Structure 1
Amino acid sequence: GLFGKWHLGAAYTNGPTRQGFDEFFGIRDGFIDNYNHFFLHGSGYHDLYRGTTEVFARDQYFPDLMTAEAVRFIDGNHNRPFFLYVPFNIPHYPEQADKKFDERYQDLPEPRRSYAKILSTTDDRMGRILDRLKQHQLEKNTIVIFMSDNGYSAEDYQIKVDEHTSGYPKGHNYGANGGGGNTGRWRGHKGQFFEGGIRVPAVIRYPDKLPQGLVRDQAITACDWFPTILDLCRIKNPAGKLDGASLLPIINENADTHHQVMHWQWQKRWAVREGNWKLIQNRGKMFLGNLADDQPEAKNYASEKPALVTRLTTLHTAWAKEVKP
């Protein structure tokens, strides 16, 4: 079952139940207002579905709706193996947090206060799902994976049209208020290929089979979870090439990362990393950064190391050709 955010194509003829999931409740595109369930960019449109059927539940808080669906799914499947994917719409903007966290963060300045409240709201709803696993005595033999999709958002949006389909007036603010996140020593945020935009937390819990309380620093990608889950379930990988590999050697033996080269692309912007060197191409401009510097990616080495720029560009070109449909 999938309960939450799909964001892999919003066409009515497509979606989770057409691509392997038995159940789906949630949003098909990138985000919604958590109360009226409208996508707010442009002129807006309603986006809440069960399977391929549109659902109207105005004024009901979407994080609670999807959490309830996830809990129901666990209740109905706890006596047999199940796969549950719960991609929350939050802490993505609009940052409409549970008011019970207002007092906890009242002394923080904005935008940190708004972000802290929506993070705690997300954590609270995830806790409800984990508690239901515990109630069914499933916490030890259930694989639980937590991962973010990108760094914090620094986006700032307002509705720019009259008679918006959501009913909100022109000028209504729904962005991330300029960004309340913190990436530590890493530069960047969502929408950028600096580490602050792409280096995210990841946690796996499986007490019956995996060690607990360990931290690994090796670079992995979301593509590694599929073969990892198959490995833990003793299922052979499907025929054909996978972009990822099982993480069990890293988890159990602290092995080196299997990603000698890593690639990213968004529209016409791209990045390629080999070791500690990362080349970022943005609108024809090249930025070559080093992750081992005291201030990672603060200095552009592109003019000093043209041969390395050429090598990394060649790696990107070969990868882009390989993955082109």
Structure 2
Amino acid sequence: MDEKVGDLIQLLEERDLMENTIIVFQSDHGFSREEIALGGGGTAGIYRGSKFSLFEGGIRVPAFITWRGRISANNVEDSFVTNIDWFPTLAEMCNIKLPVRKIDGKSMVPILNGKSDKGTHKTFFWQSLGTRENPQWAVRDGQWKLLHRPYEAEEEELTEDGYFLVNLKDDPAETTNLAGSHPDIVNNLFEKYSTWIKNVDQQK
């Protein structure tokens, strides 16, 4: 992959296109442990979870963007943004009007321009795997994150209803379930998730 990325950059340089080309590189999930990939490989550092998991190791991935002469080089940003934000971001950078319909992503341009240090989403939702009646899902609101039946969790770690609550500021590695000591936060985040999934179902 390194060689092919290098080939692409070289071609753009040869054709004098670097100043007119935006390059984005991002993984779509954490490292794999799949049998089909011979056990996969890699590490998420301190973060728990891997591909398919809604723990941070499965969904927190590095991303890079470069646009020579337009985006400052060598900046590192740790604001909370998501892959759905690339669509409105690239549209704004290229002066392309967005379609007139609901778009979940939000432009990262203020962050990339150094005019904001806030993420694009205060609240965000995920759902995958499991069954329709008992899915794996998660909701993040600020630094609080509630997971339901998270892949790669031990059954004894979860509440009777399958919840795992964490404050990412205090516990970024998601080691301790706080659901039992913060039922009010669990209920609040569950209500947010319930409203979101109903809206998703209505739009199908």
**TM band (smaller chain):** 0.7 to 0.9
Q: Secondary structure at the match of 2:107?
A: coil
Match of 1:261 among 117, 123, 132: 123
Match of 1:148 among 20, 27, 31: 27
Match of 2:188 among 297, 307, 311: 311
* 2:147 is the counterpart of 1:276: no
Q: 1:294 to 1:221 in 2, by over 3 A?
A: closer
Q: 1:255 to 1:292 in 2, by over 3 A?
A: closer
Match of 1:129 among 4, 8, 12: 8
Deviation per residue, 1:189-244 (Å, 9 max, x gap): 11111100000011111113211111111011111111111111112222122111
Unaligned runs of 5+ in 2: 130-134, 151-160
Aligned-residue Cα RMSD (Å) equals 1.5
Is the contact between residue 146 and residue 186 of structure 2 (CA under 8 Å) also seen in structure 1? yes
The percentage of counterpart residues that share the same residue type is 41
Q: Which amino acid aligns with 1:139?
A: M
Provide the C-alpha distance between the structure 1 equivalents of 2:24 and 2:3, rounded to a whole number of angstroms.
16
Alignment correspondent of 1:37: none
Provide the C-alpha distance between the structure 1 equivalents of 2:70 and 2:120, rounded to a whole number of angstroms.
22
Q: Secondary structure at the match of 1:197?
A: helix
**C-alpha displacement of 1:294:** 4.8
The within-5 A match list for 1:112-191 is: 122-156=1-35, 175-191=36-52
Alignment correspondent of 1:203: 64
Provide the C-alpha distance between the structure 2 equivalents of 1:213 and 1:192, rounded to a whole number of angstroms.
30
* 2:93 is the counterpart of 1:226: no
Provide the C-alpha distance between the structure 2 equivalents of 1:219 and 1:177, rounded to a whole number of angstroms.
32
**C-alpha displacement of 1:181:** 0.8
Alignment correspondent of 2:112: 251
* 2:198 is the counterpart of 1:321: yes
Provide the C-alpha distance between the structure 2 equivalents of 1:219 and 1:210, rounded to a whole number of angstroms.
19
Q: Which amino acid aligns with 1:321?
A: K
* 2:94 is the counterpart of 1:217: no
Is the contact between residue 140 and residue 146 of structure 2 (CA under 8 Å) also seen in structure 1? yes
Provide the C-alpha distance between the structure 2 equivalents of 1:250 and 1:310, rounded to a whole number of angstroms.
32
Q: Which amino acid aligns with 1:227?
A: P
Is the contact between residue 165 and residue 178 of structure 2 (CA under 8 Å) also seen in structure 1? yes
**Structure with higher RCO (Cα < 8 A, 6+ apart):** 2
Deviation per residue, 1:148-191 (Å, 9 max, x gap): 000000111xxxxxxxxxxxxxxxxxx33334211111111111
Q: Secondary structure at the match of 1:140?
A: helix
Unaligned runs of 5+ in 1: 1-121, 157-174
Provide the C-alpha distance between the structure 2 equivalents of 1:201 and 1:297, rounded to a whole number of angstroms.
19
Provide the C-alpha distance between the structure 2 equivalents of 1:250 and 1:295, rounded to a whole number of angstroms.
22
Following TM superposition, the consecutive aligned residue runs of length 4 or more in structure 1 with deviations greater than 4 angstroms are none
